[in-house]
Amino acid sequence: MSQPFVHLRVHTEFSLIDSVVRVPELVAAAAAAGMPALALTDQSNLFAMVKFHGAALKAGIKPVIGVDLLVDEEGERQGATRLTLLCQSQSGYRNLSRLLTRAYLEGQGRGTACIARAWLAADNLDGLIALSGAAEGDVGRALVNARERDAERLLSTWLALFPGRFYLELQRLGRPAEESYIAGAVALAARRGVPVVATNDVRFLKADEFESHEARVCIHDGTLLGDSGRVRRYTRQQYLRTPQEMAALFADVPEALANSVEIARRCSLQLELGEARLPQYPLPAGVSTEDFLRDESAAGLCRRFPGPGGVTPKHRERLARELEVICQMGFA
C-alpha cells in the first residue's frame, strides 16, 4: 500500500486566469483516486467554496478550504511572493475573509489583489495553517538565490506569526533549480525543526490538458501559444497526480507526504449553510426588531408622502401587508 497523500494546493476555474479545473470533475477525480481529503486554494478568492464544500462532502471527501495569496513585499525586485493559507476553524475562516476583503479594497496596485506583509500579525492569523509557497515564497526565493541568512530570518518571522502552523512547501514540477531549492529547504527544516509538506500546485486534472491550460493563460495575458518570447510559468507536471504518483515522486522525503495528511486532519472548518444571517441592529430598550421595523416604516411612509392627505388607507394597507410577509419570513 502506498503512502497516503492529500493535495493541499489546487486552483480551479474560479481562479479565473490560470486553471481549467472544474469543481465537479475535480471532486470526482479525487474520489476515484481514493483521496480522503482535498483542498481548494484558488487565487485570492473563495468563489468556489460553497460549491466545492458540498460536492466534496457528497463524494465522501473531507473538504479543506484555503486560498493561494500573493504577498506584496516591499523592496522585492521579483514581484509578489506566494503564501497559501488553509482554514482550521471558523476563526481561521473569518480571519482569511478579512484579509481577502482588505486585499480587494487596498491591495490592487499591481493589478491583482495582494496582501501586504504589514497586515499580518499573530492576532489576526489564528485558526490558519500556512504553506510557504515553495520556490515562489519569500523563504524559497532566498534559498534559490543562495541567501541562507535571509531565508533563516524570513522563516523566523513566519514561525512567530504561525507558531506550530507553518510548513515549508516542497514541489517537483520540472522547474529550473528545483532540486537545489528542495535540498536547501529540507536542510533548513532540519536545522529549525520545521515540518515540510509536498504539494503539486495543481492547475489541470490530466497531463494531456496542459495545452488547453496554456491557451487559457495566453487568452488572459494577451499572448499567442506559438510566441517563443512569452513567459512560460507552468509545466506539464501540474496535474492532479494520484497518491501513488506523489509517493513515488517524494519517496526520499516521506514526511512531506505524511504531513499533507496531518494538515488535512488539522483543518476542520464546518460551514453553516442554508440559514439566513441578518446583521445585529442596535434597538431601543424593550423593543423587538419587528416592532422597530414597523415604527420606522410608518415614520418613513409619512416622510415619503408629507402633508394633508399624503398617506392614504391604501398606502397603510400595502405597507402592513408587506411588513407582515417580511416578519413571517424572519427577515425583520
More confident residue, 57 or 229: 57
- Claim to verify: residue 26 and residue 140 sit in the same structural domain: yes
Predicted local distance difference test score (pLDDT) of residue 212: 80
Judgement on whether residues 102 and 205 belong to the same structural domain of the protein: yes
Q: What percent of the chain has pLDDT over 90?
A: 74
Positive or negative torsion for Cα 95, 100, 101, 103: positive
Q: Does residue 219 register a pLDDT over 90?
A: no
Q: Has residue 277 been placed in a domain?
A: no
Question: Does any domain span residue 252?
Answer: yes
pLDDT for 290 beyond 90: yes
In a domain, 273, yes or no: no
Report if residue 135 sits inside a domain: yes
Q: Is the dihedral of CA 198, 200, 202, 207 positive or negative?
A: negative
For 38-56, the DSSP string reads EEEEEET--TTHHHHHHHH
Based on the fold, state whether residues 118 and 192 are members of the same structural domain. Answer: yes
Which residue is listed with cell 523563504? Answer: 139
Full-model pTM: 0.84
Tens-digit pLDDT profile for residues 173-203? 999 889 999 999 999 999 999 999 999 999 9
Find the helix or strand (DSSP H, E) in which 99 lies. Answer: helix 90-106
pLDDT at 148: 94
Q: Where are the beta strands (DSSP E) in the chain?
A: 37-43, 62-72, 81-87, 115-116, 128-131, 166-170, 196-198
- Lowest average pLDDT, out of 12-26, 85-99, 103-117, 270-284, goes to 270-284
Domain check: are 214 and 74 in the same one? yes
Residue 102 sits in the same domain as residue 133: yes
180 is a domain residue = yes
Give the DSSP H/E element, type plus range, for residue 75. none
Domain assignment present for 274? no
pLDDT recorded at residue 1? 58
Question: Does one domain contain both 181 and 242?
Answer: yes
Only one residue has cell 493561494, namely 68
Domain annotation covers residue 261? yes
Q: Is residue 303 one of the residues assigned to a domain? A: yes
133 and 181 both lie in a single domain: yes
Q: Are residues 40 and 181 in the same domain?
A: yes
Q: What is the CATH number of the domain that holds 152?
A: 3.20.20.140
- One domain, residues 309 and 205: no
Are 55 and 185 in the same domain? yes
Domain encompassing residue 324: 289-328
The total domain count for the chain is: 2
Query: Do 81 and 90 meet the contact criterion of CB atoms below 8 Å apart?
Result: no
End of a domain among 232, 266, 300?
Answer: 266
**Whether residues 50 and 119 fall in one domain:** yes
Least confident among 49-58, 81-90, 266-275: 266-275
